[in-house]
Amino acid sequence: MFYPFFVGYMVVWNVTPALHTPLMSVTNAVSSIIIIGALTQISSDSIISVVLASVAIFIAR
């Protein structure tokens, strides 16, 4: 369980400053895609879809 935390820490903190801005841009783009997809599903008739879409919006924001 400690190993993924360590790998994630090393990957994030060893990114050169020149790559930080593009990396954050991609992260923001992925969050935007998740939010747009969740917003299209939130008007669904299925309760499960609405709950999962709400969770996705909460996590992606």
pLDDT at res. 2: 66
Provide the 10 A C-beta neighbour count for residue 37.
14
Residue 43 phi, psi dihedral angles, 5° rounding: -90, 10
Picking from 5, 50, 56, the residue whose alpha carbon sits closest to that of residue 32 is 56
Per-residue pLDDT of the chain (61 residues; tens, 9 = 90+): 567 888 878 877 887 777 777 877 888 888 899 999 999 998 889 999 999 999 998 988 7
Going from N- to C-terminal start, the domains of the chain cover 2-60
pLDDT at res. 47: 94
pLDDT at res. 14: 82
pLDDT at res. 46: 92
